[in-house]
Amino acid sequence: MPSAFPENADLITRDLFPGVIANVCAGEHLTLSRVHFEPHGVVEWHSHPHEQVGVMVSGKARFEIGDEVRILSSGDIYRIPGGILHKVSAIDGPAIAFDVFFPARPEYLVPQT
Amino acid sequence: MPSAFPENADLITRDLFPGVIANVCAGEHLTLSRVHFEPHGVVEWHSHPHEQVGVMVSGKARFEIGDEVRILSSGDIYRIPGGILHKVSAIDGPAIAFDVFFPARPEYLVPQT
């Protein structure tokens, strides 16, 4: 069984967008992704069939989910149903968010070339 | 469709253990729980068939998962397979963690009496 505590060496790093990387690992049925935004980093509008839920860990970001918009900071929760367009923009400096996907996204766990 | 941004009025508050409350809401297929520890708050040893994954949002806590132990702080990730015993103890002050469960735990969404 993999460690309950994935550390840096266990996490796959993915370049998502300019100024945005993710540290990703697998659960049993879920995929976990800790997303690190440099100042002004933006996850552009996109959607996927997977449900995505998460929490803002540190910093601030503007979340646009469907037709809703909020500025989130540490401890704020969000939930994105499958298929809903969303965009996330760091504001006022760097930021970290934590995402969980269901169903799992095994393609996320393949290192980028 | 419920808001993508559950705010306080949308979250159900559960007393988990002395000094530990959770703010809970439903996703599509997942259950979300933001757990607030007072100083010295402890989630005692327990297990459940649901997979649980999460992140430390703020503060520090000692996580015991099966036979592994770590002190986690902001941004640290954990993953608890279904059926594995675990315990979480806040250390050095208050702490907040964010948990996601699969399958969903609808019984968690019923207000306590």
The sign one gets for the Cα dihedral A55, A60, A65, A69 is: positive
Would you call B84 and A34 a contact, using CB atoms and an 8 Å cutoff? no
Domains defined for chain A, CATH in brackets? 12-99 (2.60.120.10)
C-alpha distance from residue A61 to each of A39, A51, B23 (Å): 10, 20, 21
Report yes or no: B75 at the A interface, CB cutoff 8 Å.
yes
ipTM over 0.90: yes
Q: Across the interface, do A98 and B55 touch by the CB < 8 Å criterion?
A: yes
Contacts with A54 (C-beta within 8 Å, 6 or more apart), sequence order: A77, A78, A97, A98, A99, A100, B98
- pLDDT, tens only, A41-67: 999 999 999 999 999 999 999 999 999
pLDDT tens for A92-110 read: 999 999 999 999 999 999 8
- B84 to chain A, minimum CA–CA distance in Å? 10
